[in-house]
Amino acid sequence: MKESKILSQENASLQTKIVSKGKTVQGVLLFFASLALVILPYVVQQPFYLHVFILIFLYAVMGGAWNILGGYTGQVSLGHAVYFGIGAYASTMLMMEWQISPWLGMLIGMILAVLVSLAIGYPTFRLKGHYFAIATLALGEIFMIIFSNWEWVGAAVGLYLPILPSVWINFQFTEKTPYYYIALGMLGLTLLVTRLVEKSRLGYYFRAIKNDQDAAKALGINTTYYKMVAMAISAALMAMAGTFYAQYVLYIDPNSVLAMSISIQACLVAVMGGVGTLWGPVIGAAILVPLSEFTRSYLGGSGSALDLVVYGVLIMLIAVFQPAGLMGLFGRNQARRKEA
């Protein structure tokens, strides 16, 4: 608040000074936050809390993946479960059928997801706005139904991953701590990729497409090509999260990795935090995951749906009172609006 008040004064030199000071503060905060997250498993021993953190990282990766296409490029996909599912099924099937390490399976899954995303993107990027969103929703359902009827991948029953020795090459651990670090690493990678996109030429093209596709086209930007690039990055990160999920839960079925709810969650995390921002999905996940996990453990015990009723109400409240996402709370715009 104080910073933004000073910023609003028309003093350019002071402004740059404060911005650079703000950046240093941010850097220091980021350093200590990362440090705290790295040493956290040594302090927090209860599996439930580690589990909540792992889920926060996982959802932040999913939200971050969605954000590249939905947030930065403005193409609202409601079918991102497809790539999550491909990641989960690819690594699992490769391991079960040919004993390929899930790490390699993850990479193959990411490549497959990219190929599928290009096949989906090429025709559907002709559609705009709601038409694109509904088409991706329908394509997501097509994958869901195909996998539910495909015997080789376990159909609707799903697949139980065989229990292997707890070593790194198997991507299976009896303790939660290794999963914690892997998820944290994946989140770091997602943030790095997002940052690189944000700062590069690509980021400018993406935002130009988001702001006005026709204008971007008129300026000579090959909009379909850049939308496909955004889609490919997004799909690869989503597939990575899918493999992690499969290895963490050790059971997958179409309902848990391909359902529309997965697509919505990925989107929800980014929107709640703030679309088109680096930290938005992290904040969204840090709010939504504990919200859903704690309401479930306190209200959902009896098998009733009370936890989800409360969850639904909270989502409505956040959307109504903080439509720009929770990042808006920290942003300059919010501070200015409060002053006015």
Partner 1 sequence: MEGLTTEIVIQTLVSGLLWGCIYALIAIGLTIIFGVMDIVNFAHGEFLMVSMFIVYSLSLLGINPLISLPVAAIALFALGILSYKTLIRRVLDAPMLAQIFVTFGLMIFLRNLAHLIYSADYRSVAVSVFQGRVEVLGIYLSTPQVIAALVAAVMTAAVYWFITKTEMGWALMAVAENKNAASLMGINSERMYALAWGIGAACVGVAGALLANFYYIFPEVGALFGLLAYVVVALGGFGSIQGAFVAGIIIGVTEALAGLLIDPSVKYVIVFSVYVVVVVLRPKGLMGNV
The site for partner 1 (CB under 8 A) is made up of 70, 76, 123-124, 126-131, 133-135, 137-139, 141-142, 145-146, 148-149, 260, 264, 267-268, 271-272, 275, 304-306, 308-309, 311-320, 323-324
The dihedrals phi and psi of 251, each to the nearest 5 degrees, come to -150, 130
Give the nearest distance from C-beta 221 to partner 1 in angstroms.
Answer: 19
Contact 280, 325 (CB under 8 A): yes
Cα dist from 154 to 146, 186, 240, whole Å: 11, 28, 21
Least separation, in Å, of the C-beta of 142 and partner 1? 5
Q: How far is the CB of 2 from partner 1 (least distance, A)?
A: 28
Minimum distance, C-beta of residue 214 to partner 1, in the bound complex (Å): 14
Long-range contacts of 147-154 (CB under 8 A, 24+ apart): 147/85, 147/89, 147/254, 147/258, 148/254, 152/93, 153/89, 153/93, 154/253
Closer CB to partner 1, 49 or 294, in the complex: 294
Tokens representing 54? 């792992």
Q: How far is the CB of 138 from partner 1 (least distance, A)?
A: 4
Residue (84 or 180) nearer to partner 1, CB: 84
Cβ proximity to partner 1: between 54 and 259 the closer is: 259
Nearer to partner 1, 110 or 318 (CB): 318
DSSP letter at 163? P
DSSP H/E element including 159 = strand 159-160
In whole angstroms, the minimum distance from the beta carbon of 40 to partner 1 comes to 30
Of 101 and 334, the one with the shorter C-beta distance to partner 1 is 334
Cα distances (Å, whole numbers) of residue 262 to 47, 209, 276 = 24, 26, 20
Q: Which residue lies nearer to partner 1 by CB, 120 or 183?
A: 120
Residue whose structure tokens are 């290794």? 178
